[in-house]
Amino acid sequence: MKERDPVPDSESRRDYVASRSRDYTRYTSLVGEGLSSKVDLLAQVLGDVHEPSLGRYKERLLADAISSFIPSRYEVATGFVLFPRTRLFAGEVPSHFNYLNSSDFEPSRQCDILVFDASHYPPVFRDGDFAVLRPESVRAVIEVKGTLSPKSIADAVDHAVDFGTKWRTCAAFYRASHNEPLHRPFLAAMAWRMGVDRIGRPLTNGRRIREQLVRRYSKVPKSDVRGLPVVEHFFLHRQFEVMALTYESKGGSWSFGFMTQRGQAVRFSAGGQPALAGDSTVNSLLAGIHANLETPYNRFFSHSDQSNSSGVFDHPDSGYTPWLLGDESNLPWEDL
């Protein structure tokens, strides 16, 4: 009987073997890769002929992906959040004024993507995928940027600071009015590509983004920091993510700031060797949203990256930039 020739270890052979094996990490990476492919496909046809249209398409792609991977209790829209606040009068308060129905509101800036609880809280206004929402219904706010640059970063962070400040003011107003406490929303930003200058140099990087976040948040008065929703993740698709976190020392002091880590997932072979499996930013965004919902959270499905160590395929911009130092009394994630 004639022996068969050995099968060459070709790229096509490896791709075939990979296609026949179960790999949840690769599956979640392909979700993110698929979104990028659609963005690139449209860019091949239109280029940058009409950036606003491309921007709305990118927002819709990400919104559709989020909608497909969250429980049906929650929905996705673009629009505004309407924050109730104390009614102010030029003179004396009218004798029959009802403080429990003050009818004074402050809108947020327009939000690219809003994840909200549609089961328990009806929108103030809705037309298709556009909505004006009650603050108690909002679970996540995501800004989408086509190209990453210092200007687009500043716009996203300013939006987050504006939203967080209005949310915090409303939360304090609700507490003083003995109203239902607000559910702190998850704030994030997603950029699809890195901007470059005339000779092709990147306009920013993972280190500069966390430094820009710290500079902007350092302008927030210290008295307004406790309970302030902040940008928890700033993603550059398939490249890196900048995330907010707290370091606590053995002595009880803490440091709150931002760190940069890779934007690709790691998986381990049967022999224990690590390899990059593709985009992890979309999966990380979905995990952040899932963790902030009231529905059961299962990290075996929400987190597919097989390593939680930044030392595995460390990103060139990896590092940590502190914003706040001291005790935990004014931590942004503490309740008001």
Q: What is the 3-state secondary structure (H, E, C) of the chain?
A: CCCCCCCCCCHHHHHHHHHCCCCHHHHHHHHHHHHHHHHHHHHHHHCCCCHHHHHHHHHHHHHHHHHHCCCCCEEEEEEEEEEECCCCCCCCCCCCCCHHHCCCEEECCCEEEEEEECCCCCCCEEECCEEEECHHHEEEEEEEEEEECHHHHHHHHHHHHHHHHHHHHHHHHHHHCCCCCCCCCEEEEEEEEECECCCCCECCCHHHHHHHHHHHHCCCCHHHCCCCCCEEEEEECCCEEEEEEEEECCCCCEEEEEEEEECEEEEECCCCCEEEEEECHHHHHHHHHHHCCCCCCCHHHHCCCCCCCCCCCCCCCCEEEEEEEECHHHCCCCCC
Q: What mean pLDDT comes out for the span 145-157?
A: 95
Q: Inform me whether the pLDDT recorded for 31 exceeds 80.
A: yes
Distances 120 to 75, 111, 123, 124, 327 between C-alpha atoms, Å:
11, 21, 10, 13, 37
Q: Inform me whether the pLDDT recorded for 262 exceeds 70.
A: yes
Confidence of residue 331 (pLDDT cuts 50, 70, 90): confident
Positive or negative, the Cα torsion across 213, 214, 215, 216? positive
Smallest Cα–Cα separation from 234: which of 332, 147, 165, 157? 157
Per-residue pLDDT, 301: 86
Q: What mean pLDDT comes out for the span 46-57?
A: 69
Per-residue pLDDT, 318: 94
Smallest Cα–Cα separation from 28: which of 282, 288, 307? 282
CA distance 280 to 23: 14
Smallest Cα–Cα separation from 188: which of 154, 142, 157, 153? 142
Q: Inform me whether the pLDDT recorded for 327 exceeds 60.
A: yes
Smallest Cα–Cα separation from 237: which of 51, 65, 11? 65
Judged by average pLDDT, the poorest of 139-143, 187-191, 222-226 is 222-226
Per-residue pLDDT, 49: 62
Q: Inform me whether the pLDDT recorded for 199 exceeds 90.
A: yes
Judged by average pLDDT, the poorest of 33-37, 165-169, 179-183, 276-280 is 33-37
User: How many C-alpha atoms does 321 have within 13 Å on its Cβ side?
Assistant: 20
Smallest Cα–Cα separation from 238: which of 195, 194, 287, 294? 194
Are the CB atoms for 259 and 233 separated by under 8 Å? no
Most confident of 30-39, 65-74, 89-98: 65-74
pTM: 0.89
